[in-house]
Each structure stands twice: as C-alpha cells, then as structure tokens.
Amino acid sequence: MLSRYSVNRPYTVFVAVILIIVLGIISYNNMTTDLLPAMELPYIVVVTPYPGASPEKVEQTVTRPLESVLAASSGLKNISSISSENSSMIILEYTQDTNMDSIMIELSGSIDRVSAMLDDAVGSPVMLQISPDMLPVVVASVDREGMDIDEHSRFREKTIVPAFETLDAVASISAGGLIQKQLEIVLNKEKIADLNSQVQAEIEKQLDEKREALDKAQEEIAKGRQALEEEAPDKKAQVAKASGELDNAIANLNALLAEEAKLEAQKLAFEKEKAALEQLGDVNEYLDEIFSGNWEDLPSDIYNAILEAIRDRLSFDFPDLPRREMNELYQLIVGLFPEDIESLSPELFKSIIEQIRDRLPAGLTELTQKQTAELYEVLKEFFPMDLRILPSDIYEIVIQKIKDRLPEE
C-alpha cells in the first residue's frame, strides 16, 4: 500500500522527506545542551531560629506546633524534624506531581497563622526549597610533586583557593583535608619533683633558724622573770604603783586624743558624705541604665565601646548599626545558622544568604562563608549578653566611666 502510494505520488513523498529533514535541522539548532539541567525536587526545609533555647525547649515550643500545621498541606508524602540548640529544622517531602510554587504559598500562610502563638524570642521561620543547584558543580583533587603534606596544605590554602575565587561565575570555594599544626607542651615531672624538694629543703632550713631564735628569746624571758621575782617586795610594789599611775595617765590622755580625733573624723566624714551624695545621683542613674537588663537602654558611650570591641574582633569592615538593627542581625545570624558554619556546603550557605539578604543591614549583604562564621562567633560573645557579666575589655571601660562620675575621694 505504502510502496504503491510512493510510486504513484513521487513528488508528495519527496516534499514530505524534505519537510522532515528541514524540521530536523531546525530542531537540532534550537536544542540546548545542559550538563546540569534545572530540576524541581519535591522537598522543602523550614528553619526557625530560637536563640538561647535548649533542644528540648525548641521541640516543645517551636517544632511540634509547626509540624502540626505543616502536616496538613496537600500532597505531603513524609515529614521529619531536627530540634537542636538555638534552631529547629523541619523537612517536608511531597509527591512528584505536586506544584511546589503552590505549596510554598500554602505553607507561608500556615506559618503566618502559627507564628502569633510562638514565644517572642523565636525568630521568623525561613522556607528553603531544595534544588540541585545547591550541590557542588566541580569537585577536584590537587597534588604536587616535591612537597610534603604541610607544604601542600599551605600551597592549596594560599595559592589554589584564592586563584579559583577570583574566577568569574564562581560562587564559593571550599577546601578539605588541610593540615593544621598544633604545639603541645609536656612538663617533666621528675624535674618538677626535684625543684619541689629543693624549695621544701630551703623552707625547712629557714624554719629551723627561726625556731632556734625563738628558743633563745624564750630563755631570755625566763631569766628576766626570775630576776624580777628575786627583787625585794617593796621595790616591786613601788614599781607596780608607779606603773599603774603612769598607765592611767597615758590611758586618759589617749582617750582624750582619741575622742578629739573621732570628732574631727566624723565632721570630715559628714562633709565628704554630703558632697558625695550630691554627685552619686548621676552615677546611680548611670548604673541603672547599664544594669537594667535591656540592651536598647544602654548608654551611648557603653554601646559605642561594645561596637568598637566588635570591630576589633572582626577582620572585615563592620558598619555602625543602631541598637535595634544590631539585635535583629544577631537574631538572623546566631538563630538561623548552626554553630559550625564552615561545615555547611557552599551551596546551602549561599541559598540561606539569598533567603535573608534583604533582611541584612547595608554593608553586610555580601558576606562570605568565612566572614559569616567569624561574625557568628563575635555576636555569640556579645549578644544577647548579661550586662552583669561583661567581657574584660568592656568591663574596664564601664569601670572607668563610673570612676569619672565618682568624687575623687
């Protein structure tokens, strides 16, 4: 049938073949090649920061309320959670035919309803959609002849990694297997024992000398007492009487002098106390502001000192943030990231930064993973801090500020 039709209508068959060839060429030219095509995985992660909370408290007050609301979303296949110190993580798995954009909108509304029932210290939940773009694009190993393991580690850290970081379209570079040197000091117990023996012998020698001197003094006292007892009774009575009268006169004189000195001291103390009370009014208000327990009530000079201490601890420029923005920055960094930020994969770190970039203060929107880890440690030291337990450098500044307000006496 087909062969007869082809013989009877050769031009039609020829035109059909030409059309097929033309469409094939057009399709081939418009077809794109992608080694890592974009895929939509049916996974969503909800991360909620809770600074200062234990894993048990995070599970009771954050994880369980959120799970009860998120479990009602449509198309849900499996739900699991991880409650750790300072944060809660809930992982949602959906069926393959689920529209993830619609699910993101649905979950956003569900989270808004339950957020009003959470504690005030709980941060805003952040939703992350898992994507293959978060995985490393290239994984490579490096080796170089003629270098030991220490030299090779320095070569990778100082040369290879910075060279890749300067390339265009490279988001982040992480190196593994680097060697870090440590210095361990072990004391010689035998030498310490020998030194202790020498010190103990010297101390015993000095004690023996003092003991001999004490024995001699006791002998002298005994001889003097014996000589006094051998004297005539009348001389003893005269000496005792004269001694008693002299003691009474000295006691009366000392009492008068002590009373006069006491009155003068009381007068001077009252005058100083009056002057000090007038100056302690401002100091009392200053102390109330420092130890009120409210971060936003700190005096400007103390807050500026803390801000300067934070800049000294960072290796990059830190902006001059108001108290409220500083507190919000702490909520984001310490609450959202785990304690070991550098252990995160660069893609996961980049995804988290993209989610909160619009909430970061100006000047901190382009933080690297290393800078974020450094900022995490510094903020953990100062925020939220008990103002009654200050770092040593800040404590010295506070003491100096208080001394400046106190009377010189």
pLDDT per residue as tens digits for the range 179-217: 777 777 888 888 888 989 999 999 999 998 888 888 888
SS3 at position 270? helix
pLDDT single digits (tens) 152-163: 788 888 888 888
Architecture in CATH of 43-134: 2-Layer Sandwich (3.30)
43, β-bridge pairs: 93
Task: Decide: residue 349, CB within 10 A, 0-12 exposed, 13-18 middle, 19+ buried.
Answer: buried
Instruction: Identify the DSSP state of 124.
Output: -
SS3 46: strand
Averaged pLDDT score across all residues of the chain: 79
Summarised one tens digit per residue, pLDDT across range 358-367 is 888 877 778 8
Instruction: Indicate the helix (H) or strand (E) that contains 151.
Output: helix 149-155
pLDDT in tens, 101-132: 899 999 999 898 888 888 888 998 999 887 76
Q: Where are the domains of the chain?
A: 1-31, 43-134, 191-271, 295-405
Q: How many CB atoms lie within 10 A of CB 279?
A: 12
Q: What are phi and psi of 316, to 5 degrees?
A: -130, 165
pTM: 0.33
127 bridge partner residues: 46
